[in-house]
Chain A
Amino acid sequence: DGGITQSPKYLFRKEGQNVTLSCEQNLNHDAMYWYRQDPGQGLRLIYYSQIVNDFQKGDIAEGYSVSREKKESFPLTVTSAQKNPTAFYLCASSSGVSQPQHFGDGTRLSIL
């Protein structure tokens, strides 16, 4: 079955450490997205990519970085510059304009 796979499901970060969240899709979608979800805050856009080797900042990109070297993969790195990284992170993809986004099952990041 086609879908979006996020790993790991749970992740712990030590102070000063960078961590990378994985997102892989086999839907052949061009566009991919990363959102952060905090309780009572809905989802907020971190980064998105409409095509390989290109990506744009969303509303809350500070302290995060991404790459898009392959169509199927859009990893998110939470850097030590992100002072409040504890959240639920959701990856999504879509086939383009006017198409809905499909979501993975998320990664929950916590601070040790």
Chain B
Amino acid sequence: AQSVTQPDIHITVSEGASLELRCNYSYGATPYLFWYVQSPGQGLQLLLKYFSGDTLVQGIKGFEAEFKRSQSSFNLRKPSVHWSDAAEYFCAVGLYSGGGADGLTFGKGTHLIIQP
């Protein structure tokens, strides 16, 4: 069965410092991978997605992620974080059957805290 692991439950980063959030997946085929961000009490906003092609993908708000097949990883990075980046971040893998999109499997999330 497919699964997504986000090893870090909480991460604290100083404002202006670089950020890397880890994501590892287990999936039998080439996965469709996503990073979402969630502010408290809100829905999820898509940051970026990987389907195929270039393994380094750019997203919104200055985020990027790199797909590494050999490590089964899809880590999210940002060169310089802002206080507004404090939120919950979710990595997800897409499940697709022959009939269409079956749904996403999510990691348990990483809570990002920004120190002034």
Interfacial residues, chain A to chain B (CB-CB below 8 A) = 4, 6, 30-31, 33, 35, 40-45, 48, 50, 56, 58, 90, 92, 94, 96-106, 108
Q: How far is the CA of A70 from the CA of B101 in the complex (A)?
A: 18
Q: How far is the CA of A96 from the CA of B22 in the complex (A)?
A: 27
Q: Which of B12-20, B42-50, B69-77, B78-86 contacts A (4 or more CB under 8 A)?
A: B42-50
B102 A43 Cβ-Cβ under 8 A: no
Interface of chain B, main secondary structure: strand
15 contacts between A and B (CB under 8 A): A33-B104, A35-B106, A42-B108, A42-B109, A43-B106, A45-B103, A45-B105, A50-B100, A50-B102, A92-B44, A97-B101, A98-B51, A103-B36, A103-B44, A105-B43
The one of B43, B51, B105 in contact with A104, judged by C-beta atoms closer than 8 angstroms, is: B43
Interface of chain A, main secondary structure: strand
